[in-house]
Structure 1
Amino acid sequence: MAATARFVASVAVILALSLAVTTQPGHAQGTTTLKVQAAWPPASTLWESSKFFAERVGKLSAGRLKIDLLASGSVVPPFESLDATGRGVLDGAHAAPAYWVGKNKAAALFGPAPGGPFGMDMLDYLGWLYQGGGLELYREFYKDVLNVDVVPVPLTAVSNQVLGWFKKPIRSVADLRGVKCRQTGITAEVFTELGMRTVNMAGGEIVPAAERGLIECAEWVGPAEDMKLGFHLVFKHYYMPSLHEPAVVVELLLNGKVWQKLSPDFQEIIHAAALEATINSQISLNKANADALKELREKHKVQIGRTPNDILIGMLKAWDKIAQQEADKNPFFKKVYDSQRRWAADVVTSRRTVHPSYEVGADYYWPQK
């Protein structure tokens, strides 16, 4: 009887899994395939994170779930990937919340926002997402505010983004005025407040635009990522750090109907692979950036400069002004921003008390020349 009961139970599980699989998109011979387009070119480190995620999904599912990863622009332009995913043209997209600021500025808060916001770094922001109610607000944003049928999953961390590349030296905030620069999302508004003339464009378009003289400066990610796209070939002045995007987490967007058809274990596999890829992307970038900085200095003779302090403070003041104006007229923006403020009030102030300044150890062992 026990053996019979175990057999019946096993058959029931197999039938349930078979039913789940046969109702999946892209089903073929027991494998579920999701067509996901990344918003970055294959040369980028962000693409490496997309690939890492796809590989981990395949391994964790023992080949039952496959991510068919498509390069930027394969089906739709990068800035159309959200709507394409919502309509089911794509099963998913690996994109950036900052791309959707034109739809609603609350998108900037899931990027996250300039200044952290409120002084948060990557760990603080991930804490808010996973333990402070951030994910629930994230899903509410797409479902109820933008009315797009997608499910967001945090995927890939990029911190801390640098100020950017310039054709001329920058010595103070006054030197930003009138400079035509590639910026995107809410960051563009921050730099506009500081006097820049900003233009939005996808990553693969930046270097060609600079070569044609259409822009005088550009911001993308950081040393390793920027060098892969060839920024050092058209710019020779590189400034860091910055506070416009100190803790960026980009996103996997999956079509809502596709997500609902996925079995619970597939959903958990996606969440697990995405979190692993997010951590892996950050620790990998730390070393990649170190190697890239050395090469930029020694081989390509790029002038690496420290961002003037008045620019950093200017960013925070500009962002505070923009955020307050938006909170006054956008209830959902205010809802998310207040949630982040509450989290940061506890966590940022506590970490400042508990943790020593990073510069103490770094400057002691590796004094700057």
Structure 2
Amino acid sequence: MQAAWPASLTLYENFTYFADRVGKLSAGMLTIDTMPAGQVVPPFELLDAVSRRVVDGSHSWAGYWTGKDRTAILFTGGPGGTFGMDFIDVMGWLHHGGGLELYQEFYTKVLKLDVVPIPILPSGPQAFGWFNRPITNLNDLKGLKCRQTGLAAEVWKELGMTVVNMPGGEIIPAAQRGVIDCAEWVGGVEDIRLGFQNVWKFHYSPGVHENVTIGELLINGEVWRALSAQHQEIIKSAARDAFIVWWPKWQKQNAEALTEMREKYGVQLLRTPGDVLRAFLEKWDEIAAREAAQNPFFKKVWDSQRDYASVVVPAKRFYFPPYSFVASIYWPEDFGADPASTSKGRG
């Protein structure tokens, strides 16, 4: 099975953790051989490669397939969540709101590919990105040549950016050659491992383009059907295990990476201007509505997500205290603020 990312990234560690769990849960009866991006096919060709069984499976991201059908982005969680959902909400929609059934229907009936998708990689919330100069408002983005991907690229294009799509491994060389002025990848430890801090010094967060973004495990349908029911359950359980166990480890790594960016590399950690975030969501809603009007399956999935979100999101706003409310009592320092102007927390 091949990943869409280099072996140097922690995203790949989610993949190897999954493979290790499959081996242990099956008592060695199942073995997953993991390969990094490009080992057999380029990252953006993985979907077709899995369907044709050039590789037995992949560790990738459905947003890469929006060129085939834009509905793909909705199975990542989508811009804005979608409809304000967080990771738990989206996993709830997938497992308890009909999302997994729609996911399989999309690949099998809409794209007519022989693959089985399984959610595995919670790689967010993601940062807004890295820039070669400060960004103070939406107008500052106009004309910038920026690496973006998925439907987010279309949103930014309509908001005035010049967007370029490329795999993660090509971003830093393009930046060093001056081909791009800015880029979005993931944030935190992933960005440090690729070397963003060596070419740009202005790092902005948060972003709402992938505040929820879930990567997928794809398995060739023929391979999947040849497995026993028990082995299929082992693979699904190992994927859920990888999701739950890897994610908090990754969040801690991201926290440590922010400190490293600022203290070791002199990166300025800055808050994304509010008008940028609002403009993105408003433009995304326009684009999604246009797509829903002409793409019945996009509308089917989008409506399903809206229906699920209409139940859980308002209820969570009532029950859950805002994260920043309690956090600011104990940890008033904001990574996006001047450390000299803040006091130390109670911790």
Decide: shared fold, TM above 0.5. Answer: yes
Is 1:138 aligned to 2:103, yes or no?
yes
Give distance in 2, aligned partners of 1:285 and 1:177: 33
Is 1:120 aligned to 2:85, yes or no?
yes
The answer for the alignment partner of 2:271 in structure 1 is: 306
Which residues in structure 2 correspond to 1:191-270 (within 5 Å)? 191-270=156-235
Q: Which amino acid aligns with 2:34?
A: L
Give distance in 2, aligned partners of 1:265 and 1:235: 49
Answer yes or no: is the 8 Å Cα contact 1:176–1:196 preserved in 2. Answer: yes
SS of 2:33 mapped into structure 1: strand
The answer for the alignment partner of 1:30 in structure 2 is: none
**TM-aligned CA deviation for residue 111 of structure 1:** 1.2
The answer for the alignment partner of 2:339 in structure 1 is: none
The answer for the alignment partner of 1:326 in structure 2 is: 291
Give distance in 1, aligned partners of 2:283 and 2:121: 27
The answer for the alignment partner of 1:280 in structure 2 is: 245
**TM-aligned CA deviation for residue 281 of structure 1:** 2.5
SS of 1:319 mapped into structure 2: helix
Give distance in 2, aligned partners of 1:222 and 1:347: 28
Give distance in 2, aligned partners of 1:178 and 1:143: 39
The answer for the alignment partner of 1:102 in structure 2 is: 67
Structure 1 unaligned regions, length at least 5:
1-35
The answer for the alignment partner of 2:312 in structure 1 is: 347
Which residues in structure 2 correspond to 1:20-31 (within 5 Å)? none
Bigger Rg over Cα = 1
**TM-aligned CA deviation for residue 202 of structure 1:** 0.5
Matched residue pairs, number? Answer: 334
SS of 1:69 mapped into structure 2: coil
Q: Which amino acid aligns with 1:307?
A: T
The answer for the alignment partner of 1:357 in structure 2 is: 322
**TM-aligned CA deviation for residue 326 of structure 1:** 0.0
SS of 1:67 mapped into structure 2: coil
Answer yes or no: is the 8 Å Cα contact 1:158–1:281 preserved in 2. Answer: no
Give distance in 1, aligned partners of 2:26 and 2:179: 46
Q: Which moved more, 1:307-316 or 1:189-198?
A: 189-198
The answer for the alignment partner of 2:336 in structure 1 is: none
**TM-aligned CA deviation for residue 159 of structure 1:** 1.7
Give distance in 2, aligned partners of 1:142 and 1:296: 40
Q: Which amino acid aligns with 2:284?
A: W
Q: 2:26 aligns with which of 40, 48, 61?
A: 61
Answer yes or no: is the 8 Å Cα contact 1:178–1:196 preserved in 2. Answer: yes
The answer for the alignment partner of 1:70 in structure 2 is: 35
**TM-aligned CA deviation for residue 160 of structure 1:** 0.5
Q: Which amino acid aligns with 1:80?
A: E
SS of 1:65 mapped into structure 2: coil
Give distance in 2, aligned partners of 1:128 and 1:158: 18
Q: Which amino acid aligns with 1:318?
A: K
Q: 1:174 aligns with which of 139, 146, 163?
A: 139
Q: CA RMSD in A?
A: 0.7
Answer yes or no: is the 8 Å Cα contact 1:182–1:218 preserved in 2. Answer: yes
The answer for the alignment partner of 1:162 in structure 2 is: 127
Q: Which amino acid aligns with 1:114?
A: P
Q: Give % identity.
A: 55
Give distance in 2, aligned partners of 1:284 and 1:247: 17
Is 1:271 aligned to 2:236, yes or no?
yes
Give distance in 2, aligned partners of 1:104 and 1:111: 13
Q: 1:48 aligns with which of 1, 10, 13?
A: 13
Give distance in 2, aligned partners of 1:104 and 1:82: 13
Query: Structure 1 residue runs of 4+, over 4 Å off?
Result: none
The answer for the alignment partner of 1:25 in structure 2 is: none
**TM-score w.r.t. length of structure 1:** 0.90
**TM-aligned CA deviation for residue 57 of structure 1:** 0.6
Give distance in 2, aligned partners of 1:67 and 1:363: 44
Give distance in 1, aligned partners of 2:20 and 2:163: 37
**TM-aligned CA deviation for residue 194 of structure 1:** 1.5
Q: Which amino acid aligns with 2:223?
A: V
Give distance in 2, aligned partners of 1:296 and 1:314: 28
Give distance in 2, aligned partners of 1:275 and 1:302: 35
Structure 2 unaligned regions, length at least 5:
334-341, 343-347
SS of 2:32 mapped into structure 1: strand
Q: Which amino acid aligns with 2:74?
A: L
Give distance in 1, aligned partners of 2:189 and 2:88: 21
Give distance in 2, aligned partners of 1:70 and 1:286: 24
Give distance in 1, aligned partners of 2:42 and 2:194: 18
**TM-score w.r.t. length of structure 2:** 0.95
Answer yes or no: is the 8 Å Cα contact 1:156–1:279 preserved in 2. Answer: no
Give distance in 2, aligned partners of 1:204 and 1:131: 36
1:124-163 CA distance string (max 9 Å, x none): 1111011111000000000000001000011111121110
SS of 1:48 mapped into structure 2: helix
**TM-aligned CA deviation for residue 168 of structure 1:** 0.5
Answer yes or no: is the 8 Å Cα contact 1:40–1:203 preserved in 2. Answer: yes
